[in-house]
């Protein structure tokens, strides 16, 4: 699934008091690429990721996914398209703390037309793939940070989307756990997933095929740049 951003700008506020977070972004991501987006805090990285994940809409420009202009989608089609094609992995995990590992990994599949047995197999296979088979009945608030991030990755695996968007996926983890997470993301990429990672960490960027640098809302493609 190819990603094309054409002349994307995003502003907040009104004409008397406005802030432009993104300025004329043009970006093409080919199916199966693994890309890092780097830049200082407040540069527009998360805003860009939210637009790419169909969680927000640009003020100006077009977002083309697999040949379809997503700005023409109504809310119902937007939700279905996002659930089918895009998975998220967040630094704060975005898990439900009082639910079990199984329940959290199952969540994106609750909106799919799959049989109960298919859902169960997907969930159990995904949990096993991240090494948490012994934690399936554990609640999220009983897990370590690294285990929580593995649950978030298992949820993305179970969703089986073409695109995975990760916002600082190793930011809250120790170096060894972070490396394990990156290795898992790279494996998913080699299986054909398109992966886009926001990061401040050059080590993370070095796992990717290319690095995009964003500053003051503008996108520049370069080699890995220290921040």
pLDDT in tens, 111-161: 888 999 999 999 999 999 999 999 999 999 999 999 999 999 999 999 999
Q: Give the C-alpha separation, 161 to 193, whole Å.
A: 8
Please report whether residue 28 resides in a domain.
yes
Cβ-contact 84, 163 below 8 angstroms: no
Number of domains in the chain: 1
CA-based nearest residue to 96, from 108, 111, 81? 108
- Report whether pLDDT(169) > 80: yes
Q: Name the strand (E) or helix (H) holding 84.
A: helix 75-85
Residue 172's domain comprises 3-222
Please report whether residue 193 resides in a domain.
yes
Token digits of residue 127: 């949990």
pLDDT for 225 equals 42
| Residue entry with tokens 């299986």 | 191
pLDDT in tens, 50-81: 999 999 999 999 999 989 999 999 999 999 89
For residue 34, what are the β-bridge partners?
195
- CATH of residue 51: 3.40.50.300
The pair phi, psi for residue 65, each rounded to 5°, is -120, 120
Please report whether residue 227 resides in a domain.
no
């Amino acid at each position: 699934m190819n990603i094309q951003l054409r002349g994307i700008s995003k502003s907040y506020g009104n004409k008397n008091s406005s802030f432009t977070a993104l300025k004329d972004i043009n970006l093409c991501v080919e199916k199966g690429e693994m890309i890092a987006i780097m830049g200082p805090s407040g540069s527009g990285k998360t805003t860009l990721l939210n637009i790419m994940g169909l969680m927000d809409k640009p003020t100006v420009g077009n977002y083309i996914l697999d040949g379809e202009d997503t700005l023409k989608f109504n809310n119902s089609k937007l939700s279905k398209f996002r659930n089918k094609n895009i998975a998220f992995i967040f630094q704060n995990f975005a898990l439900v703390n009082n639910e079990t590992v199984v329940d959290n990994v199952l969540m994106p599949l609750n909106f799919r037309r799959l049989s109960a047995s298919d859902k169960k197999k997907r969930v159990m296979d995904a949990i096993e793939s991240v090494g948490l088979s012994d934690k399936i009945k554990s609640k999220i608030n009983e897990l370590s940070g690294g285990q929580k991030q593995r649950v978030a990755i298992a949820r993305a695996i179970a969703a089986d989307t073409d695109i995975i968007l990760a916002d600082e996926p190793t930011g809250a983890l120790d170096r060894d756990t972070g490396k394990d997470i990156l290795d898992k993301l790279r494996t998913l990429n080699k299986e054909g997933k398109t992966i886009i990672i926001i990061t401040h960490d050059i080590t993370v960027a070095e796992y990717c095929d290319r690095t995009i640098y964003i500053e003051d809302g503008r996108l520049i493609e370069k080699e890995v740049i220290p921040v």
